[in-house]
Chains A and B, each alone.
Chain A
Amino acid sequence: MDETVAEFFRRTILKIPITEMMAVLKAWDFLSENHLQTVNFRQRKESLVQDLVLLCEEKRASLNDAALLDIIYTQFHRHQKVWDVFQMSRRPGEDIDLFDMEQFKSSFKKILQRALKNVTVSFRDTEENAVWIRIAWGTQYRKPNQYKPVYVVYYSQTPYAFVASSLLKSNLPLLGQALTVASKHHQIVKMDLRSRYLDSLKAIVFKQYNQTFETHNSTTPLQERSLGLDINIVDSRIIHENRVEKERIQRVTQEIFGDYPQPRLEFAQYKLETKFKSDLNGGILAEREEPLRCLVKFSSPHLLEALKSLAPAGIADAPLSPLLTCIPNKGMNYFKIRDK
Chain B
Amino acid sequence: MSVLRPLDKLPGLNTATILLVGTDDVLLQQLAGSMLKEDCASELKVHLAKSLPLPSDVNRPRIDLIVFVVNLHSQHSLRNVEESLHHVDSTFFLGKVSFLATGAGQESHCSVHRNTVVKLAHTYRSPLLFCDLEVEGFRTTMAQRLVRMLQICAGHVPGVSALNLLSLLRSTENPSLEDL
Chain A residues with CB under 8 Å of chain B are 228-229, 231, 235, 237-242, 244-246, 312-316
Supply 17 A–B pairs (Cβ within 8 Å), ascending by A: A235-B36, A237-B36, A238-B36, A239-B45, A240-B47, A241-B48, A241-B50, A241-B58, A242-B48, A242-B51, A242-B55, A312-B25, A313-B24, A313-B25, A314-B25, A314-B50, A315-B76
Residue in contact with B49 in the complex, picked from A229, A231, A235, A242, CB distance below 8 Å: A242
Residue of A nearest to B48 (CB): A240
B85 within 8 A of partner (CB): no
State whether the Cβ of B32 lies closer than 8 Å to any Cβ in chain A.
yes
The docked-state distance in angstroms from the alpha carbon of A251 to that of B85 is: 28
Contact check, A235 vs B24: say whether CB atoms are below 8 A apart.
Answer: no
Provide the bound-state CA to CA distance between A90 and B103, in Å. 55
Specify the chain A residue showing the minimal Cβ separation from B52: A241
The answer for the CA separation of A313 and B74 in the assembled complex, in Å, is: 12
Q: Is B26 an interface residue (CB 8 A)?
A: yes
Name the distance in Å between A164's Cβ and chain B's nearest Cβ: 33
Whose C-beta in chain A lies nearest to the C-beta of B77?
A: A314
Chain A residue nearest to B32 (CB atoms) is A238
Residue of B nearest to A229 (CB): B29
The residue from B24, B47, B50, B77 contacting A239, defined by CB atoms under 8 A apart: B47
CB distance from A338 to the nearest CB of B (A): 28
When C-beta atoms are compared, the residue in chain A nearest to B50 turns out to be A242
Is B110 an interface position by the 8 A CB rule?
no
B44 cross-chain contacts in A, Cβ below 8 A: 237
A237 near B46 with CB under 8 A, answer yes
Q: Which residues of A contact B43 (CB under 8 A)?
A: 237
Q: Report which residue of A237, A238, A313, A315 has the largest number of chain B beta carbons within 10 angstroms of its beta carbon.
A: A238
Known A313-B26, A314-B24, A314-B25: A238·B46 in contact at CB below 8 Å: yes
Give min CB distance, A253 to chain B, whole Å. 13
- Given A244-B55, A315-B74, verify A239-B48 contact (CB < 8 Å): yes
Inter-chain contacts of B23 with A (CB < 8 A): 314-315
Check if B33 is an interface residue, CB within 8 A of chain A: yes
Q: Which residues of B contact A242 (CB under 8 A)?
A: 48-51, 55
Whole-angstrom distance between the Cβ of B108 and the nearest chain A Cβ: 15
Q: Are the CB atoms of A239 and B60 closer together than 8 Å?
A: yes
- Nearest first, the 5 A-B pairs at minimum CB distance are A314-B23, A241-B49, A242-B50, A238-B32, A239-B47
Chain B residues whose CB sits within 8 angstroms of the CB of A240 once the complex forms: 47-49
